Structure 1
Amino acid sequence: MAKKLRWVDVHDIAIELEEHHPDVDVVNLRFTDLWKWVQALPDFDDDPQKSNEKILEAIQMAWLDERS
């Protein structure tokens, strides 16, 4: 069974997002879209209300690192 992702798993979330959304412009994405996409990941299992702008920004930066 795959590990369940939580908001604190920033790097693992970034890897999954890159696999599911390889053509997204990561620099110019909206946090509302990012928030929805994280929750839609098959292995994601955390309270949607536990996210915040700081976490979403960290995911975005990790995603940029993953892409480069």
Structure 2
Amino acid sequence: MGNALYWDSTYEIVLNLMRAYPMVNLDTISTSQLLEMILALPNFVDEPQLANEDLLVEILRFWYEEAM
């Protein structure tokens, strides 16, 4: 298990998502699906209710940029 992930660890969240979901089509992910994927990461420990649309869109954008 890696370091604990919190909402402000956007880059680390993206790296963990890339490892956990290497074949995902980023063009089809909704923010609600992304939230579920993040919460399912074994080292994610932050409060789910702190997530908001802007934060999830930012994480998705970083993921898309890293995948290129």
Residue 64 of structure 2 is aligned to residue 36 of structure 1: no
Q: Where does residue 59 of structure 2 map in the other structure?
A: 59
Deviations 1:7-64 (A, max 9, x none): 1111111111111111111122111110001011011000000000011001101101
TM-score, structure 1 as length reference: 0.91
SS in 1 for 2:29: coil
Structure 2 partner of 1:14: 14
Divergent runs of 4+, >4 A: none
Unaligned runs of 5+ in 2: none
TM-score normalised by structure 2 residue count: 0.91
Question: Which residue of structure 1 lines up, in the alignment, with residue 47 of structure 2?
Answer: 47
**Runs of 5+ consecutive residues of structure 1 not aligned to the other structure:** none
RMSD of aligned Cα (Å):
1.2
**What letter matches 2:3 in structure 1?**
K
Letter in structure 2 aligned against 1:33:
Q
